[in-house]
Structure formats: C-alpha cells, structure tokens
Amino acid sequence: MKRFLIPATVLALSAAAAHADKSEDVLNVAFTKELENVDSYFNSSREGVVLQRAVWDGLIYRDPITNEYKGNLATSWEWIDDLTLELKLREGVTFHNGEPFDADDVVYTVNFVAEEQNGVKTQRNVNWMKSAEKVDQYTVRINLKAPFPAAIEFLSGPVSMYPNEYYAEVGPSGMGLEPVGTGPYKVVSVDPGKHFVLEKYEGYHDSPKGQPEVGTVDIRTIPDVNTQMAELFNGSLDLIWQVPSDLAEKLEQMGKFTVANESTMRIGYLTLDAAGRTGEDNPFTDVRVRRAVAHAIDREALVSALLKGKSQVISTACFPSQFGCDQDVVSYEYDVEKAKALLAEAGYPDGFKTEFYAYRNRDYAEAISSFLNAVGIDTDFKMLQYSALRELRMKSGTPVSFQTWGSYSINDTSAITSQFFKLGSLDDARDEEVADWLDTADSATDPEVRKENYSKALKKIADQAYWVPMFSYNTNYVFSQDVAYTPTADEVLRFTDMEWK
C-alpha cells in the first residue's frame, strides 16, 4: 500500500516558513480537484459545496453542531399541506450586485432548477420541487411533486437562492464566471477551474452563518499534494485539506502547523454493474461474483492503514447518522477463500479480467485493486477525472468503479441511497423493488414508514451486493498557526468560522 513521504525539498523550506498574508488579511487556500463550474447547481463536487456555502445562501440553515434548523433567507416556514410549504422571507437582504432579495428571486430560482430540461447536475437535490409561487413580496410557497419530508433538510443545504434578473440574463455559464449571491463572501475573480478570489461581503445580513472575519480568501487549484506541501512550508498557502493521513501525521509531529482531523458524511464504496449495462454477460450480473468482491476486500485494513483518524468500516449504502440509515444489514467479512469459492461457483475458477475505474484517492483505489487481484479478479485500472468518469457511468456504465459520495452534507438517507437506486442514469442495479421502497420512504410523512422502507431497500442492496460499501471518510486539515479554525463533521470548509490569531 502506498505511503506518502514529505520530500526533502519541502523539509528544507520548513525552517524558513513565513506566513506573511496575515498582515494583509488574505487567507490562501488550496483545492485539489478542479471545479467544473462555480454555479452551485452545475457541479457536484465537494469544492463546489464549499464555494456554495460561502457565496450563496439557502432559505434555511442547519447548525452543523446542533443540527437545529434556523431561518436564513427565510425567517419562518410552515406546511400548508403535504405538498405546500409557505415561507416568510427576510427583508432588507441585498445580492452582491445590488439587486434586492425578495419573493421574485425565490420563485425564479426554484422554477428554473426544478425544470429537468435546465440540466441541474444533481437532479435529486431539486427534482422534489414542482414549482414556486409568490404570495406577496416577502412570502412564497414551494409546491412539491409529492410529499417529501426531507424538504427542510434540502432547503438548508444544496438549494441556493439566485438573483432572478441577473440569472435570467447570464444563465449558468455567466454565473460560473461571475457568481452573484447573498452569502458572506462575494467572488471578485474567477479563473475557471484554477483560481478563485473571495472578499468579505460588507453588506451581509444577520445570518446564522455568522459574519466573516477574514477579509480575502484566495483559492488555487493545486492537484499535487507535494506541491501543496511546499507552498504551505514557504508561506504561500495558509490552509490545505483532504491531506493524506501519513502526511498529516508527519506534519503534526513537526509542530509547525495546526493539524485537525474530523469525520465526514462521505463514504467510499464500489459500484458493480449488476444490471448488465456494460454487457449482459459481464461477470457482475451474477450475485455470487458481487459477493465475492465484497469478501475479497479487507476494509478494516484499509481504515487502519490508509484512512486512519475518525474513519470507520461501513456496511450500508448510506452514512450511519443519516435518517433511515439502518445498520442491521448483512456484512461481508474479509475471507479470501470464500471469495475464490464464490467465483468458482459462478463459473470463474481462474478468475477474470475487468476494467476498474476511480477518480480520486489513487492509493485507496490501488489497494482495493490489489485485494481484487489476490482472488483472481485481474483489474485493468483506469484513473479518470471526476467529470469524465461521471459522464461515462451515466452514458454506458462501468463494470466496477471506486466511488465516493458526501450527500451534500444532507443528513437524510434520501440524499444518497435514493440518489443512486431509483433507476436513474447512475443506478447500476436497476432493481424496481428497491426503487419502489425508496419512493415510499422518500414521500411518506410518517417517520416510521420512512424508516421501514429505507430498511427494506438497504437490506436488499446489501444482500445482493449491488454496492460494496467500505468506509467513511475523515478529513485532515492542516493550517498555519496564525489561523484559528475548528472543522465540522459535514466536510464543509466554512470561511466564516476562520479568523486570525
């Protein structure tokens, strides 16, 4: 398994590290993954979520510590009936470009993103909404397609409010180049995919997010972790995150930086082509092969050797804290001989060769690949960009791929299991019974009915090994000792929570 080393050139810089931008009130941050579009509805990456929470606001806010829902752009809300949510809006809010915020902006935003043909990247975040209507200047109603009890959770997360006049003029491409929101930070510069500069919005309203302290946040995309390290040491970066555990441990031992580890809602899993999208005769259409894969991987070893920190072994197709995420499902112990026996029983006594895809954490993916190779599944490993792999999976599927999902930090099973098992373009199982259970769970207003149907779906997903869930992620944050920051378990970098010491 791969180990990360701090290069000698980086170590040589450590004695001269100087963080000069504290005096200039500029926080320098690195992103590892290139963001395909800053418009929060047209990307599905964690980096996009970070920018979304900084630049835009939702109607509702969920406190990441207490999980309490609070008013943000809305001050109050009530259910008129199972399909109608009425919200009173905050008065006196202004977008970064000077447009006043009111009901027209909510109606335009909701009606735009709810229209499937407009192409919002993650449809699950918005397709529960049918439309919005204006009651008066500061009152709106959101109409649902069907009862959706997780609506409040989604309105506190990925559903951001956009300025109607500006968005009607520039659309997603324009919003991606010159973003405009009501959030605590406004965007002053975008070099697509490479460089983003945010400045504190002096006109920010009295939001539960809190008022920003740091004046400027300068974000650059630096894919190579060793380059990030070198810049951290020489002072041109103040904060990096998603740092591999081996590196984080070494940095903590040096005592020159603050190293923080926090759990996240993100899980890592293998998705297998049970539905035969890559060919009806592909091996993964056989449940015995899928179960063999599950037995072939030592998940405990992955967690202890690679992820470390607050990560844990996962057996369900969701994160344990999410509403409805039943943990009482079949779990596959690491058993090489059982995996080989299942392969032989399925007609592959000598194994077989398959393409194996991943888009992140090459060291994790290579370790998983080695476990598969050890039982006779010869992997042709292919590392793609996230957007390229997503498009491939949507178009024609993949035999097996290592995926992760952070649920947009939505603490509800509908944000992950329903995203991938309701017959959509990323559903590699295409199990109608599972989809029916999830439909019921997603729309039931009785919490017990929701739990019961999520449980049925999760049990069958595990029994049929449609996914091989492996582990939850943790995130290592490394930052200058000039920076004060306490990460939260939802894997959102909150610039409003950062300040200089």
Q: What is the largest CA-CA distance in the chain?
A: 70
User: Residue 82: which H helix or E strand, with range?
Assistant: none
Which position has the token pair 């390229």?
388
User: Residue 205: which H helix or E strand, with range?
Assistant: none
Cβ-contact 242, 225 below 8 angstroms: no
Cβ-contact 500, 22 below 8 angstroms: yes
The pairing of strands 467-480 and 239-241 is: antiparallel
Instruction: Residue 256: count other Cβ atoms within 10 Å of its Cβ.
Output: 16
DSSP class of residue 183 equals S
| The length of the chain, given as a count of residues | 501
Identity of residue 256: K
The pLDDT tens digits along the chain (501 residues) read 444 455 554 444 444 444 447 889 999 999 998 888 999 999 988 999 999 999 999 999 999 999 899 999 999 999 999 999 999 999 999 999 999 999 999 999 999 999 999 999 999 899 999 999 999 999 999 999 999 999 999 999 999 999 999 999 999 999 999 999 999 999 999 999 999 999 999 999 999 999 999 999 999 999 999 999 999 999 999 999 999 998 999 999 999 999 999 999 999 999 999 999 999 889 999 999 999 999 999 999 999 999 999 999 999 999 999 999 999 999 999 999 999 999 999 999 999 999 999 999 999 999 999 999 999 999 999 999 998 999 999 999 999 999 999 998 899 999 999 999 999 999 999 999 999 999 999 999 899 999 999 999 999 999 999 999 999 999 999 999 999 999 998 889 999 999 999
**Which of 424, 422, 444, 445 lies closest to 435 in space, CA to CA?**
422
Cβ-contact 213, 484 below 8 angstroms: no
In a 3-state reduction of DSSP, which class is residue 433? helix
